[in-house]
């Protein structure tokens, strides 16, 4: 397994094609005054697409992203794309950061330098990390995981990447959304290598357990999850049952793809205003990444696998082993506007909780919105574990 240096370089014709399609967008109507109540707001989307055509410059973002050292390595029939930034300090600690859906490795763009070079951000060189940010299989510039590439196999790839490819025998891990599942599973599977795991949520997979001794707060949390699923979870149901039915249109219509993705950023943002939480440039770079790599379908596969590839059964059995486990130290940084708010006792059923931080601001996309808050919590959690 040898890594090859990688730079983003999208052909001109792909960029020209997306512009042609955007110009040709056939817009649907909308119920007047419905805001975001029926889904992505028409006025907002038109504004975003207008900026995509007339203001946004992919080449500018591509050049900036190429300042990160990036590589690709062929593993297990699935090529993995990753960023690898050496820490600045005497003994930088390796850490792997895992993104979710519908974000990408871009989730960590802002936090990478904060973690690798803390002194440049008013921190301490002692806290420096060597940062590894892979793209999940089926996302961005990683390969297609294939029909059986369950999200639960990713831990093996990540541990191989960290130990065999990069030579780090001991490392930390952080993640949210699917990244929280991968990170948790990584810690449980490789306790000899993983010094600690830092998460921004207790993964929803634990909610399949229904312990008989729930506290009132736990009950409230689980009710909240259910309400979220009813109100906001349709994307999850369609992606896990009929991913191809949906992906055909999203891969053919950039405005449609933007609508599908930006709805999630709107509903799970940390502030009361989408534009305060994310610049149009940040939203469009993430959307463009999905478009040019044509990965919207493969990015749905973790949902599908969970439902179909035996993952539910597997996780059902596995989680029983995980109840009351006191394995690898776990730290939690929870953002107030994220879509669930677990009480600490819920996390303690499954994790060896060493740190529990309720942050004052932020939503589901954590490092994209509040990189400083998150960086500080990651530093503090790993300080005693290095």
Partner 1 sequence: MKRAFQILVSDEVLRDLTRRLTHTRWLNPPNHSKWAYGTNLPYLMELVAYWRDGFNWREQERELNRFAHFQTAIDAYDLHFIHQRGKGPGCIPLLLLHGWPDSFYRFHKILPMLTDPDAADIDAGVAFDVVVPSLPGFGWTKSPAEIEPDQPLRQYASLLRRLMKEVLGYDRFVVAGGDGGSVLAQIMAIDDPGSVAAIYLTDLGWNRMNIDPGPLPHAEKRYLEESKKLFMKESAYVMVQSTKPQTLAYPLNDSPTGLAAWVLDRFYFWCDCRGDLEKSFSRDELLTNLTIYWVTQTIASSMRMYRLDMKSPSLAAKDYVAVPVGLGLFPKDIGGIPPREFAGRTLNVQHWTEMPGGGHFTAWEEPELMASDLFAFFRTIDLPVRG
Residues that are catalytic: 177, 303, 364
d(C-alpha 33, C-alpha 40), whole Å: 12
Q: Does 120 bind partner 1 (CB under 8 A)?
A: no
Residue number with CB closer to partner 1 (237 or 323): 237
Residue 368 CB, nearest approach to partner 1 (Å): 20
Residue number with CB closer to partner 1 (132 or 257): 257
Residue 256 CB, nearest approach to partner 1 (Å): 2
* Residue 368 CB-half CA count within 13 A: 31
Q: Does 240 bind partner 1 (CB under 8 A)?
A: yes
- In the list 64, 91, 164, 242, the residue contacting partner 1 (rule: CB under 8 A) is 242
Q: Does 31 bind partner 1 (CB under 8 A)?
A: yes
Q: How far from 12 is each of 5, 17, 19, 326, CA to CA, in Å?
A: 21, 9, 11, 52
* Contact mark string toward partner 1, 251..270, x via CB under 8 A: xxx-xxxxxx--x-------
d(C-alpha 312, C-alpha 291), whole Å: 30
Residue number with CB closer to partner 1 (41 or 200): 41
Of 37-45, 278-286, 319-327, 373-381, which part binds partner 1 (CB under 8 A)? 37-45
* Contact mark string toward partner 1, 1..30, x via CB under 8 A: ----------------x---x--xxxxxxx
d(C-alpha 248, C-alpha 244), whole Å: 6
334 close to 377: Cβ distance less than 8 angstroms:
no
Q: Does 39 bind partner 1 (CB under 8 A)?
A: yes
**What number of chain residues touch partner 1 (CB under 8 A)?**
55
Q: Does 42 bind partner 1 (CB under 8 A)?
A: yes
Q: Does 34 bind partner 1 (CB under 8 A)?
A: yes
Q: Does 204 bind partner 1 (CB under 8 A)?
A: no
Of 44-83, binders to partner 1 (CB under 8 A) are 45
Q: How far from 115 is each of 85, 169, 186, 382, CA to CA, in Å?
A: 10, 19, 20, 11
Residue number with CB closer to partner 1 (124 or 226): 226
Q: Does 246 bind partner 1 (CB under 8 A)?
A: yes
Dihedral sign of CA atoms 266, 267, 272, 278 in order = negative
Q: Does 368 bind partner 1 (CB under 8 A)?
A: no
- In the list 8, 41, 52, 99, the residue contacting partner 1 (rule: CB under 8 A) is 41
Residue number with CB closer to partner 1 (96 or 255): 255
Q: Does 227 bind partner 1 (CB under 8 A)?
A: no
Q: Which residue has the tokens 């050049």?
A: 63
Of 118-126, 140-148, 193-201, 207-215, which part binds partner 1 (CB under 8 A)? 140-148
The DSSP string of 11-73 is: -HHHHHHHHHHHHT-------TT-TTTTSS-HHHHHHHHHHHHHT--HHHHHHHHTTS-EEEE
Which H helix or E strand runs over 309?
none
Q: Does 247 bind partner 1 (CB under 8 A)?
A: yes
Residue 120 CB, nearest approach to partner 1 (Å): 40
- Quick check: helix, strand or coil at residue 226? helix
Alpha-helical regions (H) of the chain: 12-23, 42-54, 58-65, 111-116, 154-160, 178-189, 216-232, 234-241, 243-250, 254-267, 274-277, 280-293, 296-308, 311-322, 344-348, 371-382
Identify whether 102 is preceded by a cis peptide bond (ω within 30 of 0): yes
Q: Residue 249: how many CB atoms within 10 A of its CB?
A: 12
Residue 367 CB, nearest approach to partner 1 (Å): 25
Q: Does 250 bind partner 1 (CB under 8 A)?
A: yes
- In the list 178, 221, 297, 382, the residue contacting partner 1 (rule: CB under 8 A) is 297
- In the list 15, 76, 233, 353, the residue contacting partner 1 (rule: CB under 8 A) is 233
The token pair that represents 133 in the structure block? 């940010």
Q: How far from 148 is each of 153, 293, 301, 361, CA to CA, in Å?
A: 9, 20, 9, 38
d(C-alpha 245, C-alpha 256), whole Å: 14
Which stretches of the chain bind partner 1, using CB under 8 A?
17, 21, 24-34, 38-42, 45, 144, 146-147, 230-235, 237-238, 240-253, 255-260, 263, 294, 297, 304, 308
């Amino acid at each position: 397994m040898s890594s090859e240096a990688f730079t983003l370089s999208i052909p001109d014709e792909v960029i020209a094609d997306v512009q042609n399609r955007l110009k040709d967008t056939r817009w649907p109507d909308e119920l007047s005054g419905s805001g975001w109540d029926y889904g992505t707001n028409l006025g907002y989307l038109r504004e975003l697409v207008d900026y995509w055509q007339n203001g946004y410059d992919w080449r500018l973002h591509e050049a900036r992203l190429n300042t990160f050292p990036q590589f690709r390595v062929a593993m297990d029939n699935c090529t993995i794309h990753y960023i690898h930034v050496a820490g600045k300090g005497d003994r930088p600690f390796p850490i792997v950061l895992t993104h979710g859906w519908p974000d990408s490795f871009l989730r960590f763009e802002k936090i990478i330098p904060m973690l690798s070079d803390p002194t440049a951000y008013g921190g301490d060189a002692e806290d420096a990390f060597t940062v590894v940010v892979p793209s999940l299989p089926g996302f961005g510039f990683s390969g297609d995981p294939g029909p059986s590439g369950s999200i639960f196999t990713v831990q093996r790839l990540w541990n191989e990447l960290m130990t065999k490819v990069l030579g780090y025998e001991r490392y930390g891990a952080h993640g949210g959304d699917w990244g929280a599942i991968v990170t948790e599973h990584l810690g449980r599977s490789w306790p000899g290598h993983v010094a600690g795991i830092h998460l921004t949520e207790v993964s929803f997979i634990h909610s399949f357990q229904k312990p008989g001794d729930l506290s009132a707060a736990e009950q409230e949390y689980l009710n909240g999850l259910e309400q979220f699923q009813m109100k906001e979870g349709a994307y999850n149901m369609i992606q896990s049952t009929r991913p191809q039915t949906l992906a055909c249109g999203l891969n053919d219509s950039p405005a449609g793809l933007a609508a599908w993705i930006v709805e999630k950023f709107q509903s799970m943002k940390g502030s009361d205003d989408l534009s305060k939480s994310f610049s149009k440039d940040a939203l469009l770079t993430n959307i463009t990444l999905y478009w040019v790599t044509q990965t919207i379908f493969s990015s749905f596969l973790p949902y599908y696998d969970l439902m179909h590839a035996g993952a539910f059964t597997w996780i059902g059995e596995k989680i029983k082993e995980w109840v009351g486990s006191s394995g690898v130290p776990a730290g939690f940084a929870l953002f107030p506007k994220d879509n669930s708010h677990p009480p600490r006792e819920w996390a303690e059923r499954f994790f060896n909780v060493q740190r529990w931080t309720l942050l004052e601001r932020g939503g589901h996309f954590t490092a994209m919105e509040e990189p400083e808050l998150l960086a500080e919590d990651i530093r503090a959690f790993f300080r005693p574990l290095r």
